[in-house]
Amino acid sequence: AKVHHHTWDIAYRYKTLDCVEKLAVTINGESPGPTIHATQGDTIVVTVHNKLETENTGIHWHGIRQIRSPWADGVVGVTQCPILPGDTFTYRFVVDRPGTYFYHAHYGMQRVAGLDGMLVVSAPDGVAEPFTYDEERTVLLMDWWHKSVYEQAVGLASDPLKFVGEPQSLLINGRGVFEPFHCSRAPNGSSDAACNVPRPAGCAPPTLFTAVPGKTYRLRVGSLTSLSALNFAIEGHSMTVVEADGYYVRPVVVDSLFIYSGESYSVLVKADQDPSRNYWAASHVVARERNTTSAMAILSYAGNDPRAPPPTPRPEGPAWDDVRPRVEQSRSLAVAHPDHVLPVPPRADRALLLLNTQNRIGGHTKWAINGVSLAFPSTPYLVSMKRGLQGAYDARPPPETYDYRSYDIAKPPPAANGTVASAVYRLALGSVVDLVLQNTVALNNRSETHPWHLHGHDFWVLAYGDGKFDPERDTARFNLRDPVMKNTVALHPKGWTAVRFVADNPGVWLFHCHIEAHVYMGMAVVFEEGVDKVGRLPKSIMGCGRSRTLP
Ligand code: C2O
Ligand code: CU
């Protein structure tokens, strides 16, 4: 196995990602950052220099379980102190499973500023995958705001709440075209005023890649949006879904792919269309009213001008508010071959029923789980729990369930029923845990889609249900035969999602909605398991809060 060393300078730079110049947090001058490539079993070492001048940072390796290295998970307040401006921190971890993963900032809402990228782990040479292809490409989907991360965060913490609003643009591999610069260039030459707007150099839909006719491409598609759920499609080309979050799935052919923040998929695309023209690859907002122009990129065929816009109008995408095909896609995923994964433990030792509500707490709008909105403590949990620091977080455990018999999920929660706390669920090492996420409506009476991501583990996705989960009735309907394993799962509007995992990774792990505004408003819980089995903590993760004075 190899060791891959990377050295990153993290700094603000003026970038023009969507034809509008704006500050972005960059890695060695780039946003998104470079794709990290490695092979299963390799070690990745990233030395991070924080050159942000006035801002802390921390970097999370999304989808990497950090077995025996829980201090490298990069979550400020959970597994480490912030990396201060001027400081250097080294992440060192093993990538133990092939798959399509990410990295991104995990400090406040800093991901919004563009500090992210992909991490691709290949299967070792000679190990066959359950499908074949000629070449692979990465496709990173993002959404993008012109307001700074500070304006967004302060707005969310204000009374009344100033919401971040819909993104100004969507980006494909870090490039997009802000609406005023969009020129539809209709096929019959009818002119569009926007086509005459003077545009900055390079302001045009990017080329996704150039395809050779007859070849099959594996696209590793990932979403690190801060808010938006997306639909991704390539005009005229169907896609075969073969991997989700690092696990091979039973192949499903789709015309378009719904993808939520924190999810990754591999899709196979065959270059089997008329090669004399180019095609649109598009990402569209779904699940929230579509007020953002869809992102367009160009799938080119060899021999054509790779930047030539396709002769067809820009695709419109599916209706944003049609939930049914989204739930259907979620339910259609199954493991490729049951032998490829561990069998599902037949029953859970413990089940947590987690109700997601939006609450008014102390004059602020928050998200809460069973009435508790998570506040990150100033001392990272991993340090305070491992070293037994008393009083560094709220010791009273959060509720395991909510009053599911009488609770009405069609109504916002009654006033004044939430608290802000830094409490933790403590799990027995090796125990089997069920998490059932229950959705409801927010204070505006709408029910949103929340992509939930678990650190340190993968889970089996046992069921998606409509309405209210009933433990007596619905536990019997869990799919224990061929559920897919994932690390991020959608909680659909007014529905519930059930997952199961084994708490076998000593450490302290965050489980949260992957929408930046939501986790910032407290939509997260923390699990601890076997912290006494964690090896000696590196000094480099300490230095803040009550860990300042530790020997
Ligand atoms: Cu991709 Cu806790 O995040
Ligand atoms: Cu959410």
Based on the fold, state whether residues 188 and 154 are members of the same structural domain: yes
Output the CA 547–ligand 2 centroid distance in Å: 31
pLDDT value, residue 549? 86
- Nearest 10 degrees: CA dihedral of 504, 509, 513, 515? -130
pLDDT at 394: 97
Q: Is residue 447 part of a domain?
A: yes
Instruction: Give the mean pLDDT of 457-470.
Output: 98
Q: Which atom of ligand 1 is nearest to the CA of 104?
A: 1
Distance (Å, whole) CA 307 – CA 185: 13
Measuring from atom 3 of ligand 1, which residue has the nearest CA? 62
* The pLDDT value given to residue 192: 64
To the nearest whole percent, how much of the chain has pLDDT over 90? 92
Atom of ligand 1 nearest to the CA of 512: 2
Domain membership of residue 482 (yes or no) is yes
Strand 507-513: give its sheet, edge to edge.
Answer: 425-427, 524-529, 507-513, 450-454, 488-491
Residue burial 95-115, b: 16+ Cβ < 10 Å; e: rest: bebbbbbbbbbbbbbbbbbbb
Domain match, 75 and 151 both: no
Q: Within a 10 A sphere around the Cβ of 65, how many other Cβ atoms?
A: 25
Confidence of residue 342 (pLDDT cuts 50, 70, 90): confident
**Rounded to the nearest whole angstrom, what is the distance from the C-alpha of residue 142 to the centroid of ligand 1?**
14
For residues 275 and 354, membership in a common domain is answered with: no
DSSP string over 250-301:
EEEEESEEEE-TT-EEEEEEE--S-TTS-EEEEEEEESS---SPPEEEEEEE
Contacts of 180 (CB under 8 A, 6+ apart): 194, 197
Sign of the Cα torsion 54, 55, 56, 57 reads: negative
Residue 194 has pLDDT above 80, yes or no: no
Counted domains in the chain: 3
- DSSP state, 520? H
What percent of the chain clears pLDDT 70, i.e. is strictly above it? 97
Closest ligand to residue 261's CA? 1
In 10 A of CB 2, how many CB atoms? 10
Tell me, yes or no, whether 503 lies in a domain. Answer: yes
Taking the CB of residue 132, how many other CB atoms lie within 10 A of it?
9
Kindly state the tokens that stand for 411: 């109504």
382, 508 contact by CB (below 8 A)? yes
Atom of ligand 1 nearest to the CA of 62: 1
In-domain check, residue 271: yes
The enclosing domain of 433 has a CATH number of 2.60.40.420
| Predicted confidence (pLDDT) per residue in 114-124, tens digit | 999 999 999 99
In a domain, 222, yes or no: yes
Report which bound ligand comes closest to the CA of 439. Answer: 2
Q: Which of 155, 136, 118, 113 is nearest to 33 (CA)?
A: 118
Protein residue closest via CA to atom 1 of ligand 1 = 62
CA-to-CA separations, 431 to 140, 156, 408, 478, in angstroms, rounded: 35, 37, 31, 18
129: confidence class by pLDDT, cuts 50, 70, 90: very high
pLDDT, residue 6, reads 98
How many C-beta atoms surround the C-beta of residue 303 within 10 A?
A: 11
Among candidate residues 242, 241, 246, the one with its CA nearest the CA of residue 257: 241
Q: Which residues contact residue 524 at a Cβ distance below 8 angstroms, ignoring those fewer than 6 apart?
A: 369, 374, 510, 511, 512, 513
Do the domain assignments include residue 131? no
- Segment 229-250 mean pLDDT: 97
Whether residues 39 and 88 share a domain: the answer is: yes
Contact 503, 427 (CB under 8 A): yes
For residue 453 and ligand 1, the question of a CB distance below 6 A is answered with yes
- The per-residue pLDDT of the chain, averaged, comes to 95
Q: What 3-state class would DSSP assign to 434?
A: strand
Same domain, 324 and 435: no
Residues in the chain: 551
Ligand 1 centre to CA of 400 (Å) is 23
Whole-number Å distance, alpha carbon 490 to ligand 1 midpoint, is 14
- With 80 as the cut, is the pLDDT of residue 340 above it? no
C-alpha 457 to ligand 1 mean position (Å): 12
pLDDT of residue 187: 45
pLDDT at residue 341, as a whole number: 72
Mean pLDDT of 39-65: 98
Residue 363 and residue 224 share a domain:
no
Q: How high is the pLDDT of residue 193?
A: 66
**Three-class SS of residue 309?**
coil
- Three-state SS for 357-388 is EEEEECCEEEEEECCEEECCCCCCHHHHHHCC
Residues of the domain holding 490: 339-547
Closest ligand to the CA of 516: 2
Kindly state the DSSP code that residue 539 receives in the 8-state scheme. G
- Residue 186 reports pLDDT greater than 70: no
Give the per-residue pLDDT at 182: 83
- In this prediction the ipTM stands at 0.98
Return the structure tokens found at 87: 């400081």
Q: Is residue 295 part of a domain?
A: yes
| Ramachandran bin of 152, using left for φ above 0, alpha for ψ from -120 to 50, beta for the remaining angles | alpha
510 lines ligand 1 (CB under 6 A): yes
Structure tokens that stand for 433 in this block: 């845990």
Instruction: Mark 394-418 as b/e (b = at least 16 C-beta within 10 Å).
Output: beeebbeebebeebebeebbeeeeb
* Cis preceding-peptide flag for 160 (omega within 30 of 0): yes
Torsion from C-alpha of 417, 418, 419, 425, nearest 10 degrees: 120
210 and 92 within one domain:
no
Tell me the HSE value of 80 on the side-chain side, using a 13 A CA sphere: 25
Residues 141 and 208 in one domain: yes
Rounded to the nearest whole angstrom, what is the distance from the C-alpha of residue 490 to the centroid of ligand 2?
10
Determine whether 179 is exposed, middle or buried from the number of CB atoms within 10 Å of its CB (0-12, 13-18, 19+). Answer: middle
Helices within 128-228 (DSSP H only) = 149-157
Residues 488 and 538 reside in one and the same domain: yes
Establish whether residue 512 lines the binding site of ligand 1, counting it when its CB lies within 6 angstroms of any ligand atom.
yes
Considering the domain architecture, whether residues 489 and 350 belong to the same structural domain is answered as yes
Q: pLDDT of 273-304, one tens digit each?
A: 999 999 999 999 999 999 999 999 999 999 99
User: Does ligand 1 come within 6 angstroms of the Cβ of 60?
Assistant: yes
The type of residue at 479 is N
Here the tokens at position 193 are 């005023």
Q: Which atom of ligand 1 is nearest to the CA of 102?
A: 1
Domain end position, chosen among 95, 126, 157: 126
Domain co-membership, 356 together with 471: yes
Query: Given 276, 297, 332, which residue is the final one in a domain?
Result: 332
Residue 28 lies in a domain: yes
Query: Model confidence at 414, in pLDDT bands (50, 70, 90)?
Result: confident
pLDDT of residue 197: 75
Do 284 and 345 share a domain, yes or no? no
The yes-or-no verdict on residue 2 having pLDDT over 60 is yes
How far does residue 167's CA lie from ligand 1's centre (Å)?
20
How many angstroms separate the Cα of 220 from the Cα of each of 133, 175, 239, 340? 12, 17, 12, 20
Q: How confident is the model at residue 200 (pLDDT cuts 50, 70, 90)?
A: confident
Q: Tell me the Ramachandran region of residue 341: left when phi exceeds 0, alpha when psi lies from -120 to 50, beta otherwise.
A: beta
Q: Are 279 and 315 in contact (CB under 8 A)?
A: no
Q: Tell me if 514 CB under 6 Å of ligand 1.
A: yes
Q: How confident is the model at residue 438 (pLDDT cuts 50, 70, 90)?
A: very high
With beta carbons less than 8 A apart as the criterion, state whether 15 and 114 touch.
yes
Q: Write down which residue in 332, 367, 388 finishes a domain.
A: 332
Give the C-alpha separation, 332 to 342, whole Å: 20
Q: 469-521 pLDDT, tens per residue? A: 999 999 999 999 999 999 999 999 999 999 999 999 999 999 999 999 999 99
Q: Is the CB of 106 under 6 A from ligand 1?
A: yes
For the four alpha carbons of 29, 34, 38 and 41, in that order, the dihedral sign comes to: positive
- Residue 446 neighbours by CB distance under 10 Å: 13
Q: What are phi and psi of 332, to 5 degrees?
A: -75, -15
User: For residue 425, which amino acid is it?
Assistant: Y
